Amino acid sequence: MGLVAVAAIVLPALLAPVLPLKDPDITRLDQRLLPPLSEGFLLGTDSLGRDLLSRLLWGTRVSLAVALLGTGLAAAAGTLIGLAAAWYRRLVDALLMRGIDVLMAFPYLLLALSIVAVLGPGLRNATLAIALVNIPFFARTVRGAALSLREQEFLAAARLSGLSDARILATELLPNVLPLILVTLASTIGWMVLETAGLSFLGLGAQPPQADLGSMLGQGRVLLATASHVALLPGGVLFVLVVGLNLLGDGARDALDPRVSGTGADTLTPTLSRGEREFVRDHTVLRVSGLTTGFVSAGSFLPAVRKIDLVIRPGESVALVGESGSGKSLTALSLLGLIEPPGLILEGSIRLLGEELRGTPSSRLQRLRGRHIGYVPQDPMTSLNPLFTVGEQLIESLTVHQPLGREEARSRAISLLESVRIPDASRRLEAWPHELSGGMRQRVAIALALAHEPELLIADEPTTGLDVTTQAQVLDLLRELCQRKGTALLFITHDFGVVSELCERVVVLYAGEVVEEAATEVLLRNPRHPYTRRLLACVPRLGEPERTLEAIPGQPPRLEERPPGCAFAPRCTFAQPRCQQTPVVLSEHGTAHHVRCLRAGDEEEAA
């Protein structure tokens, strides 16, 4: 759309010299101020009888040329200053940036006005002024990007490679800053058009008889009451041009900045069969069957969690083990009803305390979350809102599900903090999240999750970011609290060591499927699925330095390249042709030991 708008204005302007137009500067006093659609003057004439259409096109050329030149100058100078400041740092940086600060201490347009005041009115001076005024913007953007790139390890690597400074700047730094410069350029050029037009409007830019869109507007201003088209037409052209340029700039930014890409998945709302609520308790806290969750991409659905069944009984602690990309975190978020587009739960049933969660209205889900399911997230650094104190967040969580007075909520919050063994709890209520260490924040996260003593606690790699010693403390805490309060625990991890510290039963995920499930001791002693075996063999164990770690060859399959048969078959040393043909089902081998492997059955027969 932006392209259309820009093209509609830029193309005729570019073609102005070859189009059959009247001379824009010929004055015909007998044909002053003709309205649009007059004979021979499509858009009418101005106060000197000049053809408006022709003047508009020629004026656009001037405006565009000035804006492009100004932006180019500003970008070039700003990039040089920004790179120099970031690369040399210290004194160079300090001097350049203080200079930029002073420039930025002036309101934008005012600085341009002052420069024109000194140099005198005129198009060339106005261009220079606008360029100069925009240098700080480019310089700061480039410097910021270059500084953060400086911290990147690939620049350290380039220095280790013995490359010279000039070469590092040219081949390592500049190519990575360039897209940003282009985006900045694209999003600035609209402004530039506006600014130069503004100066001309005030009579400080283009001088008669030369005209750009701004000066035409300025001249038309006095005729507003009598012949408004003389002023409004150039303004309209200016507006459409700038809207177009800004749209193009946005497009360029979206294309180059993956963070703001919008997905079209929002429109694809699943039709949910609204499951009947069953209030019969079957002695499970959680019963998941046939859960399939994935991502909508380019109109098709890519499952990342495939038909998972999971049962957790009261007070039980179950581990969900898998490597990255196995779908373990997605499973946790599905259980909490926190899948957001482009993610989508395609099918399956999730029953919490007998109540079906799929198809439940979001207001009901919201009341269940926190009260019956608690959640401890992985990254303690981003788990708490940095603008609220620990106490505010605790009290908020407490009062959401039950009416509590101020004092009562406060004393409950203190006792919660004490229960996760945070010393000096009443003072810590006033603490901000950033004042706490990672281990402390994770304790607060646990306190938040357990505020209403939920029946089920889902912990998603809660100790992965922590040091071993802190991890040990947090694991002890989790185990003790769950035991004391009879909370069932679904513990998501990649670490078998942590599993045996904490969990009674293990579910192993590979490529979104449960490949093996058994009691922890059974699984560790006698893993039946080749993936589980090899995964266990990969883990370095303390006290067994001579044990050779047998790496699993290859990579897990990507979502879109999943093999038709057993997902592990391409990496499995025991794979046979039949493994690759049809999907393998999960079947029981031994008491409560489920394995998804054709060979497991064979072994049994042989025995």
Rounded (to 5) percent helix, strand, coil in the chain: 50, 15, 35
| CB closer to other proteins, 449 vs 569 | 449
Let me know: does 356 contact 276? Beta carbons within 8 Å. yes
Rounded to the nearest whole angstrom, what is the least distance from the CB of residue 542 to other proteins in the complex?
5
* Shortest Å, Cβ 497 to other proteins: 3
By C-beta, is 34 or 440 nearer to other proteins? 440
Strands of the sheet containing 300-312, edge to edge, are 300-312, 286-297, 343-352, 355-356
Q: Which of these, 381, 387, 473, lies nearest to 423 by C-alpha position?
A: 473
Q: Shortest distance, CB of residue 225 to other proteins, whole angstroms?
A: 5
Q: Which is nearer to other proteins, 16 or 158 (CB)?
A: 158
> With respect to other proteins, which residue has the nearer C-beta, 37 or 468?
468
Sheet with 587-588, edge to edge strand ranges: 373-376, 456-460, 488-493, 317-321, 505-510, 513-519, 594-595, 587-588
For other proteins, the closer of residues 21 and 518 by Cβ is 518
Are 527 and 533 in contact, with CB atoms under 8 Å apart?
yes
Q: How far is Cα 585 from Cα 569, in angstroms, rounded to an integer? A: 14
CB of 21 or CB of 503, closer to other proteins: 503
Minimum Å gap between C-beta 38 and other proteins is: 20
Give per-residue burial for 474-483: e unless 16+ CB within 10 Å, then b. Answer: bbebbbebbe
Helix, strand, or coil here: 37? coil
Type of residue at 183: V
Q: In the bound complex, what is the minimum distance in angstroms from residue 567's beta carbon to other proteins?
A: 14
Say if residues 67 and 198 touch (Cβ distance below 8 Å).
no
CB nearer to other proteins: pick between 307 and 443: 443
Please identify which residue in the block is written with the tokens 């210290």: 90
> In the bound complex, what is the minimum distance in angstroms from residue 582's beta carbon to other proteins?
25
Helix (H, G, I), strand (E, B) or coil at 333: helix
* 266/602 with CB nearer other proteins: 266
The least distance separating other proteins from the CB of residue 93, rounded to whole angstroms, comes to 15
Rounded to the nearest whole angstrom, what is the least distance from the CB of residue 55 to other proteins in the complex? 16
Least Å distance, CB 467 to other proteins, is 4
Q: Encoding tokens for residue 565?
A: 């048969």
Distance of CA 342 to the CA centre of its chain: 12
Number of Cβ within 10 Å of residue 470's Cβ equals 18
CB of 298 to other proteins, least distance (A): 17
- Per DSSP, 427 falls in state H
C-beta of residue 436 within 8 angstroms of C-beta of residue 386: no
For residue 571, count other CB atoms closer than 10 A to its CB: 17
Tokens of 392: 């505010």
Asked if residues 491 and 320 have their Cβ atoms less than 8 Å apart, the reply is: yes
Planar angle of CA 585, 590, 596, nearest 5 degrees: 20
Compute CA 550 distance to the chain's CA centroid, rounded to the nearest angstrom.
Answer: 37
